[in-house]
Structure 1
Amino acid sequence: MDFSDLYKQGNSNLVSFSPDGKYLAVVVEHRLIIRNSDSPKTIHRVFSCTYDTAPFIQDVGWSSDSLFIFTASYELNRVDVWCLGDESWRCSIVDEVCCIEKAVWAAHGRHVLTFSELDLRLSIWSIEDEERRYIQYPKSRVALAFHPEGDYVAVAQRHDYHDFIGIYNTQSWAMVREIAVDTVDLTGIEWSPDGLHLVAWDLAGNFCAVVVNVGGVVKRVYTEDSVCLGVRSCVWAPGGQLLAVGGYDEKIRMLNHLTWRPVSTLVHRAQGIPATVDVFNEVEIGTSLAQESRTPVDQSTRVRSRFVLAAAPSAIRVAVAVDVHRAERRLGVSVLAFSAEGAFLASVCESMPNAVWIWKVDEMRLLAVVQTLRAVRACRWSPVERTLAVATGSSSVYLWKWEDGVFIHDCPSATAAVAGLVWNPNGDTLAVLSKGMFMLGFLGE
């Protein structure tokens, strides 16, 4: 991997590729800088907000056609929309009644949706005219779920002390159907990639995942009475035929699309990993670069390391709280991500934060474990290849590739602490985020 020069960005890590992969949006205080993704030195546009005091820009979002982009300052109750094709065009959104807490684009890229405080309403703003509509009682902490074709959106709502999923047409914004779900406190919803089903899951204390079809028929209410903890994460396989449900009990239930029952249960075990599993352990080698440097400028803590295959039987390090009476216990499957074509599933279990587990989906078995020296901060699949990028807060990026193993790519700056990763939708570029700066990594053939 070849890295670009370092570029400045805000400490909020607001770096985002456009959906067509041509541009990279970077926030620096009150300025929005649009760079070319293949040549980041080339600046396409610079948009400056009228407010130039903290908290500056707190959020950005691209429209689906990459023509518009919004910036949001929630504390100032303001959302500004900019056009890449016309630098003089601008649209400002200010809610006169309620404070804006979150903003997202509609799937077709001509409406901006804003959540108001206290979950009072969801406002739909058109950027083509002054039309404005509302949806009552949305749950702002539950992300909207757009149909894969963009014609419908599922909104989690709560009224009369019950949870509902409202299905709305994104052209007229009229309610098509309201589905009552038997949950205590709906926490998340997700539309299947084929657009035929929706899954909704409950709060942490109740293990419940509800699957409904587009007609509003509840196909399955999957519960685990023997489990005292609930669903931590939920993700669809790219084909929509499998649903991975990660629990706080450190297990992944793989539900099939015919009976919506588990075809397999994947368990994260710290001990007794089979010899057929490749366990890659990161180990230190030599002395730190800071000790070798004679210049006072380079006082980094970069440590040379490499990966070695652990001998069977292998073991995974378990996190132990320093003070069990004060520290919150880390539990559950916090990360679930399928590869682009659905052949592999990556997971991170919070009780073993230094390990990334990679499962082979067609065989429902553990394929490999990547165990790093530091806790995993980010874990992202390439959108086009069987490549998994991992960041741990060190100055290196780790790439796991199918049939090739793990590679360590050191950033040019030893002071970089990689905390975030953003893939270009084209899959040829990776944005590497550190505090106050970023660089691009270009993947070779």
Structure 2
Amino acid sequence: MRFSKALPSSPHCYPSPDGELIATLLPSSILIRAVKSLDVLRTIKLPPDLIGGVTSFAWSPSSTRLLVAVADQIHTFSAREGNFHGTARIPSSAAKSAFIDFGVADHEVYIWSPFGIKLTIINFASSKAVEIANPKFYNAASATKGCSFRANSYHLALLTRSSGKDMISIHSPETRDIERSWYPDTIDAQGLAWTPDGRWLVVWESSAQAPRVLFYTSDGHIFKDWRGPLPYESQDMGLQYSAGVKTVALSPDGRRIAIGNGSTCTCILNTPSMMEAMRLRHPQAIQPKDTLQIVTPEWTTLNSLQEPVSGCNFAKFDCSSSLLATRLEEAPGTIWIWDVPSSDLRAVLMYHANVTKLEWHPMQPELLLMRCEGDSYGSLVFAWDPLSHGPRSVDMAHRLPGALNNSKIYATWLRTIAESPALFFSDSATCMMLNSGGKAEFSECKNGHLVTWRRQDSWEANGE
């Protein structure tokens, strides 16, 4: 593993979605650096009246604009070129926004009010705003469950709730006015999402209700009503008594949908038929075999999963749609990795702490990033791929000063198509990048001159 030089950072320092730039928010400016050269490409001066705690700092989806929000102001800036600067004022009488972020377009900013009072969509291109009452989900952790943008057309599907009833509305991509709306046949819907091809809108019921996933056409007609897995083997007889849907994951290629419920089975549906194609059963006792990789500390027993198992509450496909990572609610420190085409269990990764972050590499298949909770794991990042003998750990304790003080470390994949995958790390004071091997692509300052790495021996090597 090879590291770039350490760079000044702040509590708000993030790579762009395309993996080419790094934005660092300072008290009076924003620094934009190039990932490959580490040069400062641009310095954006902040308005002098931009005071108070920053509530949001985010890149736009296309990596061309940046958003900075405080309690009473929202600003968007051009990140690469041009002098665009958009400003929106929040009335002082209004409560602090629960969540602020870009929409699917660079000129749209979405503001969720606390307690789900309203969703305000600001269009900086037209200088207009649209207010939508009663969004069902409105905080940073859940807001994206209640809205989804359709591929290609960018229609917004929004889940709202009023007078104890769920409602779905479809909004125009140009004006965000309502084009159509309907009441779904749900008691307490917990999320919606367009399929990657934009053909179907998927809506799933609360886990407190019976298992149910509804598939709608874009005009609100129901295409398929999935009411849970049917028992067809003796070990499936308990499925009808399990809790409802806990998680829904759509594969990037749009061919499969994974549904986790209150049982130990994760159901895989094929599209466009929405028929069940396979079941991935999480075994209570793990039997080692040649095709299964088991990674566990030596003092952890292989059959130590707690009972009763409450079901799968996390599922996520890798970018190739061939691997699926799952986690059971009663075993939050164990990650199961499945080969979807063959329905085989590929790996079981066990930790002593709860796994709080799982992130597949956005461009390179079969690369998984993991983080665990707890002070002893604060500086650790784990990376797994099928060819490694278990997850590889990266300890940033002696590379980022904040790590020694249990400062929160931010870690994510860089969205690059380079031969070797790269990671970005940042604490409140320092940031750096890591390349797992192969050709180097970052830089280091030597004797006051910037040197771009091109030779393998130019990196600062680390045997971790």
TM-score normalized by structure 2? 0.77
Counterpart AA for 1:35: R
1:304 aligns to what? none
Q: Identity of aligned pairs, percent?
A: 19
Measure how far apart 1:41 and its partner are: 6.4
What's 1:136 paired with? Answer: 133
Match of 2:207 among 185, 204, 217: 204
* 2:332 partner letter: P
Q: Deviations over 1:44-100 (max 9, x none)?
A: 33554656776x222222223322111223xx2432212224686432222336433
Equivalent residue for 2:450? none
**Does the aligned pair in 2 maintain the 1:3–1:412 contact within 8 Å?**
no
The within-5 A match list for 1:2-401 is 2-7=2-7, 9=9, 14-27=12-25, 32-40=30-38, 42=40, 44-48=42-46, 50=48, 56-73=53-70, 76-85=71-80, 89-96=84-91, 98-99=94-95, 100-141=97-138, 142-143=143-144, 144-206=147-209, 207-224=211-228, 226-273=240-287, 275=289, 276-282=291-297, 315-318=302-305, 331-385=310-364, 386-392=366-372, 393=377, 395-401=379-385
Is the Cα contact below 8 Å between 2:242 and 2:261 reproduced in 1? no
Deviation at 1:208, TM superposition (A): 2.4
Asked if structure 1 preserves the Cα contact closer than 8 Å seen for 2:384 and 2:392, the reply is: no
1:96-131 Cα deviation digits (max 9, x unpaired): 364332222222211212222332332221223422
CA change 1:3–1:228 in 2 (3 A) is same
* Deviation by residue 1:285-309 (Cα, 9 ceiling, x = unmatched): xxxxxxxxxxxxxxxxxxxxxxxxx
- 8 Å contact from structure 1 (residues 233, 245) kept in 2: yes
Q: Could you tell me which residue of structure 1 aligns to residue 422 of structure 2?
A: 429
CA contact (8 A) 1:165 1:179 kept: yes
Q: TM-score, normalised by structure 1?
A: 0.80
Unaligned runs of 5+ in 2: 229-238, 439-464
The alpha carbon displacement at 1:378 in A equals 1.8
- Contact 1:378-1:419 at 8 Å conserved across structures: no
Q: CA deviation at 1:192?
A: 0.9
Task: Return the alpha-carbon distance in structure 2 between the equivalents of residues 157 and 387 of structure 1.
Answer: 36
Structure 1: unaligned runs, 5 residues or longer: 285-309, 321-328
Q: Specify whether residues 42 and 412 from structure 1 end up closer, same or farther in structure 2 by C-alpha distance, changes over 3 A only.
A: farther
Cα offset, 1:257, TM superposition: 1.7
Contact 1:396 / 1:408 at 8 angstroms: preserved in 2?
no
Number of equivalent positions? 404
| CA distance in 2: counterparts of 1:140 and 1:181, whole angstroms | 16
Sort the Cα spacing of 1:319 and 1:2 in 2 relative to 1 into closer, same or farther, 3 A.
farther
User: Structure 1's 44 and 351: CA in aligned 2 closer, same or farther, altered over 3 A?
Assistant: farther
Partners of 1:437 and 1:377 in 2: CA distance: 23
Report SS of the residue matched to 1:367.
strand
For the aligned residues, what is the CA RMSD?
3.1
In the alignment, does 2:437 pair up with 1:444?
A: yes
Amino acid at match of 1:169: S
